[in-house]
Amino acid sequence: MTAAIPQPSRTYDLSFARWVRENVKGGDKMNLCMQCGVCAGSCPIGNEMDNGPRKTFMMVRAGMKEEVLSSSTLWNCTSCYRCYVRCPRGIPVTSIIQGLAAVAAKEGYAPKQKVENYYFSKAFWWSAEKFGKTDERLVTMKYFFSFGLSEGIKKALDNLKVALGMIKAGRMHIGLPHTIKNKSQLKAIVAKAKELEQKG
Amino acid sequence: MSEKMKFTYYPGCSSEATGRHLDESTRAVFPELGIEVQDIEDWNCCGASIGHIGGGPLPQLALNARNLANAKKNGNEHVFTSCAACYLNTHGSNLTIRDDEKKRELANEALKAGGMDGYEGDLKVHHAMEVLVNFVGMDKIAERATNKLEGLKVAGWVGCQTVRPFAETDDGGNYDTYEEPHFLDDITKACGAEAVDYEPKTNCCGGSVAVMKPEKTLHLMKLLLEEAEKAGADVISTPCPLCQTNLEMYQEAINKKYGTNFNIPVVFPQQLMAVAFGMDPQKDAALHRNTIRAEKLEKMAKK
């Protein structure tokens, strides 16, 4: 990401919209939006979103940075890409919502709200970075326990039967995590990528 | 059989756990269809649909760049994967590296920090289903299917990322449509089974949201099961490992919440093919790894 996110001041302030245009993947296409609502109408769990993609785009234009980045819309995208392929103006809707979610995570909006996706993605990334692979079992446990010990135990017990079925079918790995061979190489690559992203 | 086409294969993380049966059946079936499968050396995770949040967009691109740079060493032009999320990330990153000079430079700088050569985006990345459509062809599948699955009713559930957002693009091989894909039913028919009408063919199960917060998406999966039952399907066939696991493991939670009584097996088209090719039901079709066993399909398998 490049320059700091501006704090819009006037009633009609395009600075946030311009920032999104420059810094979020697909953001350069957002000004093509004609507010038709095909995206929101195509969303499988739009009922879980406060604003939905159509309204989110208008809010970006209106400079509503705080509202956009603390919106539940960003955390309920299933990445089904229905909106993306249906948009009559060819706007990569999914990419923009995901890009805004990444910004909201980075800027601290997600942890403040205790967003599930945030914890899940952190648990997921922990495994990817540490082992080079996703250990579905450890990611799930780490995610469960990010809500505290008692909640973690409850969630783990709720899923015990499913887990046992998976173990029986040989689909839940037992023992040490699978890892890539060259972990130090991956670590260096990811560290460099993080540094470059920080620099913008 | 004529000489095999060599493809580099990206198994992805689920291949070692929840999606083992997809990996095993893919490795069994593809060589039978003239595709030699060669793994990417020391492959890593693609970041799935949430790596951009957990790690950031550029670190996620770097993960994929490492895989692609390693894939390049195999010397094949084509790479394929059976996992929808792996495909989305690997294919998408490949296009970004090919077309976006700035991102390519950044990704290559990250690779250099790991002592790797740069990557220019010159490989071609495919989904396993696209390989079957564009490189193998349904005729070849039908020809190889000597143990026809006669009488088996299959609901073809494509899901999301196997076709969206690349199936209708030139880079995605234009292999089917977003709204009414027919490749999955074509595979079912080539195996000698019956493809029942299945309206929610491209519906979403909730993906990773189903994993982290099932309450939000159980109704989506309930609809998928209801429609399969209405159509009289014996099994649901899906190419996506997360779709398969979600729809299988949440049936009990759905029954509990809605008072239903679903117990519908969810299998991969590769498993159907392995049985139709007369291959081993365990070693090749990996039918023992389905937690809801596809009994009718198992009975059809050559022992």
Write out pLDDT tens, residues A47-64: 999 999 999 999 999 999
CB within 8 Å: A140 and B204: no
Q: Please report whether residue B88 resides in a domain.
A: yes
Residue-wise DSSP of B220-244? HHHHHHHHHHHTT-SEEE-S-HHHH
Q: Please report whether residue B39 resides in a domain.
A: yes
CB within 8 Å: B204 and A134: no
Two tokens, residue A125: 């990334």
B173 shares its domain with B293 = yes
> Is-contact B98 B121, C-beta < 8 A?
yes
- Tell me, yes or no, if B39 comes closer than 8 A to chain A by beta carbon: no
B151 shares its domain with B83 = no
Mean pLDDT throughout B98-105? 97
B178 shares its domain with B97 = no
Residue-wise DSSP of B230-282? HTT-SEEE-S-HHHHHHHHHTHHHHHHHH-------EE-HHHHHHHHTT--TT
d(CA B145, CA B11): 24
B81 shares its domain with B206 = no
- Tell me, yes or no, if B118 comes closer than 8 A to chain A by beta carbon: no
- The last residue of a domain, from among B62, B94, B128: B128
Q: Please report whether residue B46 resides in a domain.
A: yes
Mean pLDDT throughout B255-267? 98
Give the model's confidence band at A2: pLDDT under 50 very low, under 70 low, under 90 confident, else very high.
low
**Which pairs from A171-176 meet CB under 8 Å and 24+ separation?**
A171/B17, A171/B18, A171/B19, A171/B20, A171/B21, A171/B245, A171/B289, A171/B291, A172/A136, A172/A137, A172/B17, A172/B18, A173/A135, A173/A136, A173/A137, A173/B16, A173/B17
Which of A169-173, B108-112, B249-253 is least confident?
A169-173
Q: Please report whether residue B142 resides in a domain.
A: no
CATH number for the domain harbouring residue B151: 3.40.50.11810
B54 shares its domain with B95 = yes
Give the model's confidence band at A174: pLDDT under 50 very low, under 70 low, under 90 confident, else very high.
confident
Q: Please report whether residue B133 resides in a domain.
A: no
B103 shares its domain with B58 = yes
- Tell me, yes or no, if A29 comes closer than 8 A to chain B by beta carbon: no
Give the model's confidence band at A10: pLDDT under 50 very low, under 70 low, under 90 confident, else very high.
low
Q: Please report whether residue B155 resides in a domain.
A: yes
Helices (DSSP H) in chain A: which residue ranges?
15-23, 38-42, 52-61, 65-69, 82-86, 93-106, 109-113, 116-131, 136-145, 149-158, 160-168, 183-199
At residue B140, does pLDDT exceed 50? yes
Q: At what angle do helices A183-199 and B57-72 cross, to 10 degrees?
A: 140
At residue B73, does pLDDT exceed 70? yes
> Rounded to two decimals, what is the model's pTM?
0.95
B152 shares its domain with B119 = no
At residue B1, does pLDDT exceed 50? no
ipTM of this complex prediction, to 2 decimal places: 0.94
CB within 8 Å: B212 and A118: no
> Is-contact B130 B248, C-beta < 8 A?
no
Helix (H) or strand (E) holding B9: strand B5-9
- Tell me, yes or no, if A69 comes closer than 8 A to chain B by beta carbon: no
B179 shares its domain with B88 = no
Two tokens, residue B25: 């059946």
Phi-psi region of B106 (alpha: psi -120 to 50; beta: other; left: phi over 0): alpha
- Tell me, yes or no, if A143 comes closer than 8 A to chain B by beta carbon: yes
Look at residues A105, A20, A94 and name the one whose alpha carbon lies nearest to residue B54. Answer: A105
B89 shares its domain with B200 = no
B171 shares its domain with B277 = yes
Residue of B21, B40, B45, B176 for testing the chain A interface, max A β-carbons within 10 Å: B45
CATH code for the part of the protein at A15-109 = 1.10.1060.10
CB burial class (10 A; 0-12, 13-18, 19+) of residue B147? middle
Q: Which of residues 132-191 of B touch A (CB under 8 A)?
A: 160-161, 164-165, 168, 178
Count how many domains chain B has. Answer: 2
CB within 8 Å: A121 and B178: no
d(CA B274, CA B284): 6
- Tell me, yes or no, if A157 comes closer than 8 A to chain B by beta carbon: no
Q: Please report whether residue B189 resides in a domain.
A: yes
Range of the domain at B168: 147-300
Task: Kindly list the domain boundaries of chain A, sorted by start residue.
Answer: 15-109, 116-199
CATH number for the domain harbouring residue B20: 1.20.1050.140
B111 shares its domain with B81 = yes
Helix (H) or strand (E) holding B53: helix B51-54
Write out pLDDT tens, residues A103-144: 999 899 987 777 888 888 888 899 999 999 998 888 888 888
Q: Please report whether residue B185 resides in a domain.
A: yes
**Max intra-chain CA distance, chain A:** 61
> Is-contact B55 B13, C-beta < 8 A?
no
> Is-contact A97 A74, C-beta < 8 A?
yes
Give the model's confidence band at A147: pLDDT under 50 very low, under 70 low, under 90 confident, else very high.
confident
